[in-house]
Structure 1
Amino acid sequence: MNHAVSPPPPSGDLSILDLFAGPGGLDVAADVLGYRVTGIEFDRDACATRSAAGMDTFYGDVRRYRASFFPRAQVLTGGPPCQTFTVAGHGAGRKALDQVLDYIQELHNAVRTRDAQWEDIFRTWRRISEDLRRKAVRAEGVKAKKRAVEQSRGSTRKALKKILKEHGSPPTEIKSVLKALQVPGRLVREAAELGRLLGEFRTLTAEIDRFKAELEELGDERTGLVLQPLWWVIERSRRPGSTPYEAIVLEQVPTVMPVWEEYERVLATLGYRTKRQLMYTEAFGVPQTRKRAVLMARLGETDVPVVDETHERYRTRIMPARAPKGAEGLWEAKEENAPGKDPKESWVSMEAALKKARTIAAELTVPLDLPDRPAFTVVSNYGTGGDPGARGRRDHDAPSATITGKVSRNRLVHVGTDKDLPHFDRFSFAEAGVLQTFPVAYPWRGSDQPQQIGNAVPPRLALHVLRQVLEPELTDKEARDRLKQAIADLEVWEPGDAVTVREHGQWEGHPLTGR
């Protein structure tokens, strides 16, 4: 790859280990800052992208690896896949959150016990892991039963619809019957079989509901994944002969913030200073509105300050009645700059980001042709306000809505209309990556590339976080100059030679394993 032209990192040649590394959003940011990164990633397609991008990678489930396998890693980063947590109610999200917090409390109790021995700490983790394993095995059994019942219910549904159609029921009545599970009065005498099938349908539905409730109690296998980074930190901090990580950076969706809060308590016991921050990506120059919950930590007495926003946040207001359904407009009010801080730049629009990308693409070693579209509106694949029919809309002169794994389903129409743009009515993978602030030359590989793009951390956001956590000694001016150069390097980055993805056990000669 074409490495950064900026000077070496001021804090030394730190080595980063990235758990759940994805296609390399954090990794390419670290690369332009001059840091070495090794990622662990389970998805084969994401590994193919990482290989083409020259990102050092171990393939496999993070749970098969251990911190002790990589004794020379000095920084731990990652974005563990998380189920939907919620702090409200008593549903699956609340139960999942409570379960995770309980496990973290067990680990905290183990490490803060006076004169705690490594064997006792490890025994606690092994007990938690075994509990999660048993629940996962039981959950697989319940899921198999649930699938079988769902198949039976599907057959019953087809039989119901067939009988209703034979008796002249219109689609609206069929839908109503399947929802209310009541035989229409006019058919009670004519279709005795209908009543039997509806009873069977009710029984099967109730059985499926019981399976769902059981699965909620058992939890999600991702519960164990969200605990992994914490355990790696504990292992490096408490295992005899190990050296603690110098810094930690973790990110996920905002609903994970309560988990990061509990992480902070454990990290403080282990000697870290921490900071949690809800980050708005467009406030850091990403041409996309997206929120991320970030946990930053440094070992020792150096505080981790808030990462200052460099751009204004994007705000919306209700459009006039004549605007297409689901459209958004810009709230024109300007943000006030904090005293003593540099003025914030305006957020970056899709149009501005793609225009710059077209210029860069034409000058690449292997030029890339990106379309120059007329003014457009993006019509989301998702509904808004709970209405699936009210597709979210963003105009070209605004930041993109959150890029998800369904980005390739978003339509591009002439601005203010529902008329598709000819030939270019979808974003290309390169363009979707640019809206995530990946370099336009990033070599997307494998299948389901939109999912890789949607799941990734925006590299430009990662630049801000890594620079802040890993280079606290810089002055304000040095930090600004460092970021400015790194952003320029990121935009024109190009891959070099592909690298071979390693498998579990292939430690020989790797710089982080010491073998």
Structure 2
Amino acid sequence: MASAQRRPAQTARYEIVDLFAGPGGLDVAAHWLGIPVQGVEWDDDAYETRLAAGLSTVHGDVRDFGPSDFPHANVLAGGPPCQTYTVAGAGSGRRALNDVLSYVKQMAAGIDVTPSAAAFEDERTGLVLQPLRWIVESYKAGIPYEAVILEQVPAVLPVWEAMAEALEGFGYKTACGVLRSEEYGVPQTRRRAVLVANREFTPTLPTPTHRSYRKGLTRIEGQSALHECATMRDALAHLPSGNIRGEFEVVSNYGSGGDPRARGRRRSSEPSATVTGKISRNRIVDLNGVEQQRFTTYEAGLLQTFPYDFPWSGRAISQQIGNAIPPRLGVHVLASALGLDLDPREFDVAVQECWSHSKHGVLQVSTGQ
């Protein structure tokens, strides 16, 4: 049941506008919950995927739009580009963090910082401020969003914390922190900084359903009641043919649970390392060290918990897959922000459903009392 402080919520009352929508990770999550969503996406390749998947999309730059262009949306979501903040990138966003935090405070005070924010070393750094611009504009227009969901790489957590403080000044209750995707049934270790806000109740970050992953540890104190981590083997079993690879090992450029001695190697009986835009470069070997075919597009999508036949289109498909929020994690975050209970047992059914008929995979949700 939902917390007593949460009011009943019906998914039908919500409509989401998703900034930086990418190929549709959050859209798939919203679809499973029965919530309409319209995405804004400028990248041509991601847009092609969205068209093929039948996802409602405005093809353009979020900087050219605002709340008035989406008058029916009462929930704002967004996952701004992470390249300048991620530890795998050059780090210009991390170096500019103090400036970004200063702009958040100025925007919360009603100051237009658009000209200054455009002068970052990499223009993508300033895009993290766009959701706040939309929130401020909707508040000033007297039709504030009922809920807000933002996600990014962990390095952006200080920005989300500053935005949470700003949102509280606009009448929101907030929660933010870093989530570990494997703790929500995603067969992948991926950490994301998340901010959820609601005007009606105080949201909490979603409660883990699965154990966290630690290389070499089978039991973690305090997690005995949780499900075991989902594994790569589990994910590939969703293919119509099942997991025909058998047991294998993935060799990637990502570490394994923080243990440098095991860096870059995960067995199929473990969760995948973070799925990035370079997943197509990861080597796969059987347990005798014999090279296998690398992950197909659909296998990589399953590691992100997309339906097995999601219609990836356009170019740079590996990058599209790596950039997306895992839909399974997205469902948990949406449910937290909107006050919904859900039955996690329905996730596997939803992932197994053919996307073209995926209306049958809508998750069962409860409003709680």
1:457 deviates by 0.1
State the superposition RMSD in angstroms.
Answer: 2.6
Once residues 107 and 36 of structure 2 are traced to their aligned partners in structure 1, the CA distance between those partners, rounded to angstroms, is: 30
Deviation of the 1:332 alpha carbon: 2.4
**In 2: Cα distance, 1:248 partner to 1:382 partner:** 31
Q: Which residue of 1 aligns with 2:137?
A: 235
The amino acid that maps onto 2:123 is E
Asked if residue 377 in structure 1 is aligned to residue 249 in structure 2, the reply is yes
Query: Which of 209, 214, 217 matches 1:310?
Result: 209
Counterpart-to-counterpart distance in 1, 2:158 and 2:152: 11
Quick one: distance in 1 between partners of 2:342 and 2:214?
26
The 3 A distance-change label for structure 1 pair 230 and 389 is same
Equivalence for 2:95: 95
| 1:420 and 2:291 matched | yes
Q: Distance in 1 between matches of 2:182 and 2:347?
A: 18
**What is the SS of the residue equivalent to 1:468?**
helix
Structure 1 residue 255 and structure 2 residue 155: aligned? yes
> Which amino acid in 2 is paired with 1:253?
V
Tell me the distance in 1 between the aligned counterparts of 2:336 and 2:351: 17
Cα 1:109/1:96, change in 2 over 3 Å: same
The equivalences for 1:314-463 within 5 A come to: 314-316=213-215, 330-337=216-223, 343-355=225-237, 357-358=238-239, 361-362=240-241, 372-381=244-253, 392-415=264-287, 417-421=288-292, 425-463=293-331
Higher-Rg member (1/2): 1
- Once the two structures are TM-superposed, the CA of residue 109 in structure 1 deviates from its matched residue by 2.5
Q: TM-score, normalised by structure 2?
A: 0.87
Query: Given residue 414 of structure 1, which amino acid in structure 2 is its aligned partner?
Result: D
Distance 1:219 1:448 in 2: 25
Letter in 1 for 2:252: S
Instruction: Identify the residue that residue 65 of structure 2 maps to in structure 1.
Output: 65
The structure carrying a bigger helix percent of its residues is 1
User: Which of 176, 195, 199 is residue 299 of structure 1 equivalent to?
Assistant: 199
In 2, are the aligned partners of 1:53 and 1:496 still within 8 Å (CA)?
no
TM-aligned CA deviation for residue 95 of structure 1: 3.4
Give the C-alpha shift of residue 66 in structure 1.
1.3
**1:85 CA drift (Å):** 4.4
SS of the aligned residue for 2:291 comes to: coil
Is the partner of 1:51 in helix, strand or coil?
helix
Distance 2:302 2:29 in 1: 14
Deviation per CA, 1:329-366: give whole Å up to 9, x if none: x212333149xxxx2100011112212x12xx25xxxx
CA 1:391/1:314 → structure 2, altered by over 3 Å: closer, same or farther? closer
Shift of 1:445: 0.4
Amino acid corresponding to residue 61 of structure 1 in structure 2:
D
1:15 equivalent in structure 2: 15
Q: Distance in 2 between matches of 1:494 and 1:351?
A: 21
Equivalences for 1:154-169 in 2 at 5 Å? none
Contact 2:256 2:265 in 1 (8 A): no
* Cα distance, 1:108 vs structure 2: 2.0
Cα distance in 2 for residues equivalent to 1:95 and 1:376: 39
Q: Deviations over 1:91-139 (max 9, x none)?
A: 84553101101111111223xxxxxxxxxxxxx32xx212234x3xxxx
Secondary structure of 2:285's aligned partner: strand
Distance 1:30 1:93, change over 3 A: closer
Using the alignment, how far apart are the partners of 1:34 and 1:92 within structure 2?
38
